[in-house]
Amino acid sequence: MANPWEDISLDDYEKHMSMDSIRQLQVMNVIMKEQFGRYPVETAMVLGIAGGNGLEHVSREKYKKVYGIDINKEYLQTVMQRYQSFSDILECMQIDLMQDCSHLPKARLVIANLLIEYIGYQSFQKVVLQAEPEYVSCVIQINMDDINWVSDSPYLHAFDRLDEVHCQMEERDLSMAMEGIGYRELDRQCYDLPNGKALVRMDFRKDCKMESVFLSEFSDVFYVKDKNVVLVHWKKYCELDQYRKPLEHALMVIKEHPGCNYVADTRDGFEDNPLDTKWVAEYFMPKAKEYGCRVIYFIIDEANSLCEELEGQEKDSSQLLEFRYVYSLEGIGEPS
C-alpha cells in the first residue's frame, strides 16, 4: 500500500495549512527564513519539501546547492515549476525515507519541518547519518490533544490515512535521539499557533568530540574524546548477542584508550536478561577493569526508575569498580 502522503493533493494540504485558524504554513515560512539564514553553510537539504514553502528565502550569494526531498513526485514537480529561477542550485529527489535513504546526498544543513512525526526517530537517525550534516534544524508539532492532532478544516478528510504513519513527538525524546547519534542541541524555540497547538524548533550540531563506534536498532556506542569515556546509549530491550555485542565494542574502546571509563545511558530503558546480568558480572566488568576502566557511570532519569536494576549491577561488581550516577553526559567530570 502506498504511503498516505503520496495520495494527498498539494492543493488540499496548502489550503488546510494556511487557514486563519491554523496558520502553520505562514509560521513555517518565518521559521524557514531563520533556518536558511542562521548557519555558515553552502549546502542544505529540505526533507519533506512539499510545495517548497520558504524556498524564496534561499540566498544565491550563500548557497551553492539546495536539495528538496519528498516522497510525493507531484509535489516535487510543483516545486521545480514554482522555483524555476533556482534551477541551477535546486535539485529535487523523490525518496521514501522510511524505506531507503542510501541515495541521499551530503549536505551541511538538514532542515526537517513536520517530517519526523511521519518517519519516526529511528528512521530520522539513519537519514542524518547518511546526509552527514554539521547542523540539523527540525520543527515538530506539540499537540495538547493526542486524538485530534490534525486541526479541523474543510480539508480534514484529505488526511484520514495519516494515522497509519503518524507518531506523537516529544521534545525530550527527539533530543535524546539526536544525542544518541552524536548531535548536541544548540537552540530551542516555541511558536504558538491559533488553534492551541504549538510548533517547536530544535537545532542541533554534530559533536566532533563524539566518535561513532557501533550503531544498531537496540543501542549506539560512542567514544567521547574530551571526557575519555565510552558511551553506550541503550534504546530498547535486547538480550544475548544483541545486548553483548555493543558491550564488546565498548571493551575494545576501553582497551584502546588508557584510563577510559564506561558510561551507560539508561534513560530509554535498561532491563537485563538474568543470563546477561551474569555475563556482565563475570566477563564485562572484570575485562573493563583489566583494560584500565576505573569508574562505571549510569546516566539516569530524575526519578531513577531503574534503581533496582542498576543497584543490582553495582552490588555484583562494586569491589572491582567505582559506580557513579549522573543525569547527563555533562555530569561526568574531566578525565584525570
Is 336 contained in some domain? Answer: no
Same domain, 181 and 259: no
94 and 222 inside one domain: no
pLDDT at 266: 81
pLDDT over 60 at 146, yes or no: no
How many Cα atoms occupy the beta-carbon half-sphere of 103 within 13 Å?
A: 11
Task: For residue range 82-124, list pLDDT tens digits in order.
Answer: 999 999 999 999 999 998 888 999 999 999 999 999 999 989 9
Residue with cell 584525570: 336
Highest mean pLDDT among 7-11, 134-138, 140-144: 134-138
Q: Where among 156, 188, 206 does a domain terminate?
A: 206
| Residue 102 shares a structural domain with residue 194 | yes
Supply φ then ψ for residue 193, to 5 degrees. Answer: -115, 160
CB 3 within 8 A of CB 71: yes
* CATH number, domain containing residue 114: 3.40.50.150
User: 216 with 189, same domain?
Assistant: no
- Cβ–Cβ < 8 Å for 2, 139: no
Give pLDDT, residue 336.
Answer: 44
DSSP 334: P
Are 242 and 162 part of one and the same domain?
Answer: no
Is 93 within 8 Å of 68 (Cβ atoms)?
Answer: yes
Secondary element (H or E) of residue 234: strand 229-234
Q: Is residue 38 part of a domain?
A: yes
Residue 248 has pLDDT above 80, yes or no: yes
Determine the Cα–Cα distance for residues 153 and 28; give it in Å rounded to an integer: 18
Looking at the structure, do residues 226 and 149 belong to the same domain, yes or no?
no
Does 257 lie in the same domain as 169?
no
Residue 31 lies in a domain: yes
Q: What is the pTM of this model?
A: 0.71
**Per-residue pLDDT tens over the stretch 265-283:** 887 766 678 899 899 999 9
282 and 326 in a single domain? The answer is yes
320 and 178, same structural domain?
no
Q: What's the CATH number where 299 sits?
A: 3.30.750.24
Of 174, 206, 238, which residue sits at a domain end?
A: 206
Cα(150)–Cα(115) distance, integer angstroms: 14
Contact partners, residue 77, CB within 8 Å, separation at least 6: none
Shared domain for 316 and 276, answered yes or no, is: yes
> Using an 8 Å Cβ cutoff, are 66 and 39 in contact?
no
Question: Are residues 175 and 69 both part of a single domain?
Answer: yes
**Cell 543525569, located at residue:** 327
Kindly state whether residues 91 and 129 are assigned to the same domain.
yes
Residue 291: give the domain boundaries: 210-331
| Residue 293, φ and ψ in degrees, nearest 5 | -70, 135
Q: Domain count for the chain, please give it.
A: 2
Mean pLDDT of 15-38: 90
Of 162, 180, 206, the residue that ends a domain is 206
CB proximity list for 226: less than 8 A, separation 6 or greater: 209, 334
